Amino acid sequence: MPVLEVLHLKKSFGGVTAVEDISFSVEAGEVFTIIGPNGAGKTTTLEMIEGLQSPDAGQIQFGSLSWSKNSEQIKVTIGVQPQSGALFDLLTVEENLDLFATFYPKSRPAAEVLEMISLTDQRNKQVKKLSGGQRQRLAIGLAMINDPTLIFLDEPTTGLDPQARRNIWDIILKLKELGKTTILTTHYMEEAEKLSDRVCIVDQGKVVTLDTPAALIDRLTKEREVRLSMLDGEAAAIETEKVALLHPAVVRTNREGSSLQLWTTQPEDTLYELFGFTKDRGFRVEQISIREMSLEDVFIAFTGKEWRD
Ligand SMILES: Nc1ncnc2c1ncn2[C@@H]1O[C@H](COP(=O)(O)OP(=O)(O)OP(=O)(O)O)[C@@H](O)[C@H]1O
C-alpha cells in the first residue's frame, strides 16, 4: 500500500489555476521528486499534501489516514521543512530543535538530529550566524525532529553552492538508509537524477510524466545530441546544417556561429553522411562529440521548455 496517494488535486487562486489535475502515489522508502518549471504548481501541490492549503477538489490519503478525519495522526507522521525565514535567528541551533520538539507529543533526541545534519559542532551557535547551507540543514533537521516516516523538502538546495548542496544530498541519502520516505522538489536536474527513485514532471498544474530517472532517460535513448565545430566558419556550418536536416534520423538542429548541434536517432549513420558531405566540399571539422541524454533532455522533450538551472 502506498504511503501517500494523491488523486485529481485541483487548486485555483482567483482566476489563476495553480494545480489543474495532479495524481500520483508514493511508496514507502522512496525519494520521490517533483520537478517542473517556475509556476508549475509544485509548492501548491506540496502545501495541499502537508495540510497547509485545502484543495478545491481531489483526495489526499496517507495510507488509510486523511486530513478530514485523522489530522492529529498525520501531523506526527509527516515532517515539513520550514521556510528558512521561520527559524528563530536569536536562538541557537539546539534551542531551535528543542523548541520544535515541544510541538510534538514524541520527538527524536536533538543530539541525534544534530549528528544527522552535521551541525553538532554548531549546536551552540545562534542561527543568525549560520551559513546558508547550515540554515538549510537545520531546516531539514527541524523536519525530522518528530521522527516522521514521510518528509517533505521543498527546494532544500536552492541558492546553495555545490558543496552545500552535496551536504544536503548526503542527508537525504541518510534518510533513505533509515527507511524514511522523502518527497522533494528541486530546481536542479542533476539532483533529481542522482537522488530520486522516481521523478514526477509537472507543468501547468498537471503531471506530464512520472517514472524512474533511468526509465525516463531510456525513452529518449534513441536520440543523441551530436556537436560539430567547423574550422571553415559560419558558412560551412550553415551548409552542413542544411544537409543534416535532410537526413531522416535528424530530429532537430541548432547552430551558433560555426558550431552545430543536432539531435539524431542514428548518430553513426548521420555522421557518416555528414562527413561524406564535408569531405566533398573540403570543409574541415574541428571537434565532434556525441552526448548521452540526461534527465534535462527528458524535461525539454516532455515540456518543450528549456530548464532554468
Ligand atoms: N497564494 C497564491 N495566490 C495567488 N496565486 C498563487 C498563490 N500561490 C501560487 N499562486 C500561483 O499559482 C501558480 C503555481 O504556483 P506554485 O508556487 O505552486 O508553483 P511552483 O511550481 O512551486 O513554482 P516555483 O518553482 O517558482 O516555486 C503560479 O502561477 C503562482 O503565481
> Residue 52 C-alpha to ligand 1 middle, in angstroms?
14
Residue 147: band (very low, low, confident or very high) from pLDDT cuts 50, 70, 90: very high
Separation of 307 CA from ligand 1 center, angstroms? Answer: 18
* CA-only gyration radius of the chain, Å: 24
Interior/surface letters 213-242, b for 16+ CB within 10 angstroms, e for the rest: beebbeebeebbbbebebebeeebbebbbe
**How far is Cα of residue 183 from the mean position of the Cα atoms in its chain?**
10
* Under 8 Å between Cβ of 20 and 206: yes
Instruction: Give the C-alpha distances (Å, rounded to integers) separating 170 from 77, 82, 108.
Output: 22, 19, 19
Q: Rounded to whole angstroms, how far apart are CA atoms 275 and 285?
A: 9
Per cent of the chain over pLDDT 70 is 96
Average pLDDT over residues 96-114: 94
- pTM for this model (two decimals): 0.77
Distance from C-alpha of 110 to C-alpha of 98, rounded to nearest angstrom: 7
Average pLDDT over residues 289-297: 78
**Confidence grade of residue 1 (pLDDT, cut at 50, 70, 90):** confident
Q: Could you give the CA distance from residue 74 to residue 52 in angstroms, rounded to a whole number?
A: 12
For residue 115, give the amino acid letter. Answer: E
∠ Cα 126 128 129 (to 5°): 70
Asked if residues 14 and 163 have their Cβ atoms less than 8 Å apart, the reply is no
The more confident residue out of 97 and 159 is 97
What angle separates helix 267-281 from helix 233-246, to the nearest 10 degrees?
Answer: 130
Q: Is the CB of 34 under 6 A from ligand 1?
A: no
Percent of the residues in the chain that have a pLDDT greater than 90, as a whole number: 72
C-alpha dihedral sign at 93, 87, 131, 38: positive
- Is the pLDDT at 116 greater than 60, yes or no? yes
pLDDT digits (tens, 9 = 90+) for 202-248: 988 999 889 998 887 776 667 788 999 999 899 999 999 999 999 98
Return the C-alpha cell found at 113.
538530529
**Ordered DSSP codes for 142-190:** HHHTT--SEEEEESTTTT--HHHHHHHHHHHHHHHHTT-EEEEE-S-HH
Nearest-atom number in ligand 1 for the CA of 40 is 21
Over residues 213-226, the pLDDT tens digits come to 888 777 666 778 89
Residue 29 has φ and ψ, to the nearest 5°, of 85, 0
Q: How confident is the model at residue 308 (pLDDT cuts 50, 70, 90)?
A: low
Mutate to test the pocket of ligand 1, among 9, 33, 44 (most ligand atoms within 8 A of CB): 44
Coil, strand or helix at 235: helix
In sequence order, the 6+-apart residues with CB closer than 8 A to the CB of 167 are 118, 133, 137
Domains of the chain (ranges, CATH numbers): 4-218 (3.40.50.300), 222-292 (3.30.70.100)
Q: Please enumerate in sequence order all residues whose Cβ is within 8 A of that of 56, keeping only pairs 6 or more positions apart, or say none.
A: 10, 11, 12
Identify the CA nearest to 72 among candidates 62, 81, 58: 62
Higher pLDDT, 189 or 152: 152
Atom of ligand 1 nearest to the CA of 202: 21
Give the nearest ligand 1 atom to 205 CA. 14
Question: Which ipTM score applies to this complex?
Answer: 0.96
Q: Is the CB of 295 under 6 A from ligand 1?
A: no
Q: What is the pLDDT of residues 19-50, one digit of tens each?
A: 999 999 999 999 999 998 888 999 999 999 99
Would you say the CB of residue 40 lies under 6 angstroms from ligand 1? yes
Is residue 309 pLDDT above 60, yes or no?
Answer: no
Cα-to-centroid distance, 36 and ligand 1 (Å) = 12
Ligand 1 centroid – CA 206 distance (Å): 13
The confidence score (pLDDT) of residue 307 equals: 59
Average pLDDT score over residue span 139-144: 95
